[in-house]
Structures are given as structure tokens and as C-alpha cells.
Structure 1
Amino acid sequence: MNLLDSELRVIKAAERLAAGLGDDSNHTVAAAAMDTSGRIHEAVNVYHFTGGPCAELVVLGAAAAAGAGPLVTIAAAGDRSRGLIPPCGRCRQALLDIHPDVVVAVPTDDGPAMRPIRELLPDAYFFPDADARRIVRFHQRYYEDIVTGRKTSTVRYDDPIAPGPAIFLFEDDEAHRTLNGTVTGVERHRFDRLTAAQARLDGGEGIDQFKANLRGHYPDLPSDAEVDIVTFTVEAPDAVQ
């Protein structure tokens, strides 16, 4: 499966740490997580009969102790060449509450795959007091258009985005540039009935070409799908934290 270079770095970090655990029965799983600045945080589980924490939970604490913001990617691997390990139910709930936009590395028959945490915990309970800062992901090629205000909207399918403040993340950007922004509105429209006005097209691109491009990005997009038109504003780069 085609993974981003940054995602492969996180997987390799977890597997490398797991390979060095040896025969220590108290620490048998390693986890690695990347934050929005590109830093990778690492940790191992603490096995104990009282229910010691999984590696994923320990790495959340390690990242917080290092002053990390929202986590972008996380992976866990087992000792003794067990490879990638998907998170348990407790870890999935914690990730969903604290880092709701993180993507998780999971093993498949075709190799490692990345899954949004919401897909790993469908019909989940959402902790109402979770203080989670949100992430909106963009391809790195959109950075200049967004930072200059030329691009102020995006269309998403099966990618829930809520109004409010967020960090705008440009995936696989070598400089790990981010922008502080605000999602100002989300409108839902049926894809096959979407108009140029609803899609916020500026006249340089026809609606038919726009829909063809969107299908290229979402190959499984059905004609009767509901898509979200997301509008946003951004702060100046020197205001990014």
C-alpha cells in the first residue's frame, strides 16, 4: 500500500524500538507517534498484573511531556519480530478522545495500512470533556494557495470536519509547515447535484472537470454520495505556534 514517507518513518521507529526490547517480559510492545511539527515520540508498554498501560498510552504521555500538540500518526510493534500490532479497544477510545484526527498503522495481508482512528472505533462514545485540538489535512501543494488566501475552501468525502479552530497540516511536507486556521462553515451537498456555486469554483474550472478530479481523489465516490464543502480562514504564518 502507498504510504506517506512520514508514515513509514513512524512505523520504522516503532519496529526499531520493538526490536531492541530483547527478552524483557515487562516491556514487550513499542509505540511511536509523530506530532504536527514532525517530531517522533517513542515509548514502550509497562506490563503488570494490575493492568499496566499499553505502549500507545505511554507514548501519548511522553508526547505530552515533550510539549507536543495533536498527534498525526501512531504505530505500535511487538517484540520478537511480531511486527505491527493494532491498538486494543481501550487505546482506540483514548486516541479517539484525545487525538481524534490521528491515523493509525495497522497490519493487513497486503502490508501496513493507515486508518483514521474513527474507522477503528465505529459507533463510538465521544467523551464530552475531551480537550482535543483538531487537524485538517491538505496536500502539501496547497500550502502557498492557502497561506496567501487564494484557496479558502475544500471538498471532503467521508472525512468529518467540524467548524472551529484547527491546525492545518500539509502532509509529507519536508519543512513540516502548519497553519493555524478556523473552519468557518461546513455545507453538505449531494455529489451528482453539486453546482459550481456550491463547490466555490472561481470560474477557472468547470464543474464537470471538478467532479472528475474529485473522483480521482476519491475513487470509490458514489454518484449519490454526500460531500462536505468546507470553508476556512487562516492566520499569518508568524502566528503559528
Structure 2
Amino acid sequence: MLYPDEQRVLDAARAQAAVLTGRPEHTVAAAALDTTGRVHTGVNVHHFTGGPCAELVVLGAAAAAGAGPLMLVAAVGDGGRDVLPPCGRCRQVLLDLHPDAHVVVPGDAGPRTVPVRALLPDSYRQPDAAPERLVRFSAAYYDDVAAGRKTTTVRHDDPVVTGPAWLVFEEDGDVPVRRLPGVVESVEPRLLDPAVPTDAALHRSLRRHYPALPPDAALDVVTFRVVPG
């Protein structure tokens, strides 16, 4: 199942695809969610000299609207083709410019989301790219993070880098996407030891977020702070 903000983005892409006129120049629609909760849309521009895919058009539309890093991108084909995975070029561009974004892809049980980095393992990285970063949280943590009561988070197979980052809180029912400016101060790797009672308890807690987490998982302990203003 998709989370509410993911479904909202997919619905926007589907709505945009539904109004395409059947012209061969425009056959795919895309939508993207930014860290303020806005959804941006665009369509591809096919031409014999080459032309941008819908995902690249929506990146430009989001940038023109003053969006920062994007959280999610979805593309939908015309003629009932529904969700389309991004092509190789779009995967590379997304990874370089929005490395923390997730992408909606087709699945056996329906659309699902994956981190863009999972679509390009062992990828080339543009050496001079300096994208804005983000760290995702459940909406339930907003008050504790905003008040400085929560300054650490534990991640599994979810890379976080040190430096400035938006701390982004997912949409939850009537609570919209929210964000706080922050800084990731440290990322310390550690291994869970199932023989240690505190690690076993941590494992049970983390399985709410990572259902398939093994008892001896490799984790990252992330320390962060909110930047005032």
C-alpha cells in the first residue's frame, strides 16, 4: 500500500496522464512532491532530435516553482499504461539532483515506492553535484524534534550524510507534510547483537519501521539538530 502523500502524487500523475490528447509528442505524465507538501506535474516532450522525459520536465517545473529537494516522483503513461519506471537517464539525473527521493514503480501487487538509489546500484555519481539533502521522519516525531527532545534516529539501509539537511515529516491523515531546517552532525555505524538485551529490545522497536530487519542488522545511529529559524 502507498502512504497518503505517495497516493496523492500518483493520483496527480494519473490525472495529468488522463488529459493527454493522444499526440505522439506527449505520452507520459509525471508528478513530484516537494518538502513543503506541494505537488508539481509535467509531461514529456518527444521530438526526433531528442526531448526530455516527463520526470525531467517535472524536475524543471518544481525548480521553477522554487521547490527544494523532492521527496517522491511518479510517472504514468497514456492509454491506460499506468505507472512506468524511470528510464536509465532519469534514474541518473534523479540520483544526482535528488538522491533522497523515492520513486513509484509498478509491482506485482500494485504500485510501490523504492529509493532512487535502489534503482541504480553501484552507480556513477556526478562529482560536482551538491544537492540539498533530507532526512525523513514519521509525523509523530515532529513535536519532539522541533522542541529538541529528539536528536538521534536509527536507520537501516537508509543512508544519511552529515551536513545541512531538511528534516521532513511525512503526511499523516489531516497532518500535511512538514519540515524543519537541520544539520546532521554525525552518523555512527553499529551492529545489533541479539545476545544483548538492550539490542534485542531495540530490534523489536525498529521492526515497526523495518519489518524484515534481521536481529544482527547493521545500523546507523544519526545525531542531528534543528537549526533555529
TM over 0.5: yes
Question: For 2:5 and 2:226, how far apart are their aligned partners in 1?
Answer: 24
Question: For 1:223 and 1:192, how far apart are their aligned partners in 2?
Answer: 7
Post-superposition Cα deviations, 1:181-211, rounded to whole Å, max 9, x if no partner, equal 0000011111116979xxxxxxxxx554332
Alignment of 1:11-160 (within 5 A): 11-160=10-159
TM-score (norm 2): 0.95
Secondary structure (helix, strand or coil) at the match of 1:76 reads strand
Name the structure 1 match of 2:192: 191
Name the structure 1 match of 2:206: 214
Question: For 1:214 and 1:54, how far apart are their aligned partners in 2?
Answer: 38
Secondary structure (helix, strand or coil) at the match of 2:86 reads coil
Structure 1: gaps (5+ residues): 197-205
Name the structure 2 match of 1:164: 163
1:82 Cα deviation (Å)? 0.7
Give the paired residue count: 227
Secondary structure (helix, strand or coil) at the match of 2:182 reads strand
Q: Does the Cα contact within 8 Å between 1:170 and 1:176 map onto a contact in 2? A: yes
Name the structure 1 match of 2:180: 179
* Code of the aligned partner of 1:34: L
* Code of the aligned partner of 1:188: P
Question: For 1:208 and 1:47, how far apart are their aligned partners in 2?
Answer: 54
Q: Does the Cα contact within 8 Å between 1:22 and 1:80 map onto a contact in 2? A: no
Question: For 2:216 and 2:143, how far apart are their aligned partners in 1?
Answer: 33
Secondary structure (helix, strand or coil) at the match of 1:46 reads coil
Question: For 1:93 and 1:207, how far apart are their aligned partners in 2?
Answer: 37
* Code of the aligned partner of 2:157: D
Given the alignment of the two structures, is residue 235 of structure 1 paired with residue 227 of structure 2, yes or no?
Answer: yes
Question: For 2:40 and 2:209, how far apart are their aligned partners in 1?
Answer: 31
TM-score (norm 1): 0.90
1:146 Cα deviation (Å)? 0.7
Structure 2: gaps (5+ residues): none
Question: For 1:175 and 1:115, how far apart are their aligned partners in 2?
Answer: 21
Given the alignment of the two structures, is residue 6 of structure 1 paired with residue 5 of structure 2, yes or no?
Answer: yes
Post-superposition Cα deviations, 1:11-52, rounded to whole Å, max 9, x if no partner, equal 011111111112211100000001111111110000111121
Percent identical pairs in the alignment equals 56
Post-superposition Cα deviations, 1:112-151, rounded to whole Å, max 9, x if no partner, equal 0001000011111111111200010000000111111111
* Code of the aligned partner of 1:66: A
Question: For 2:66 and 2:92, how far apart are their aligned partners in 1?
Answer: 22
Question: For 1:175 and 1:104, how far apart are their aligned partners in 2?
Answer: 20
1:76 Cα deviation (Å)? 0.4
1:103 Cα deviation (Å)? 0.5
Secondary structure (helix, strand or coil) at the match of 2:193 reads helix
Aligned-residue CA RMSD in angstroms?
Answer: 1.5
Query: Is the alpha carbon distance of 1:24 and 1:141 closer, same or farther for their aligned partners in structure 2, counting shifts above 3 Å?
Result: same
Query: Is the alpha carbon distance of 1:43 and 1:175 closer, same or farther for their aligned partners in structure 2, counting shifts above 3 Å?
Result: same
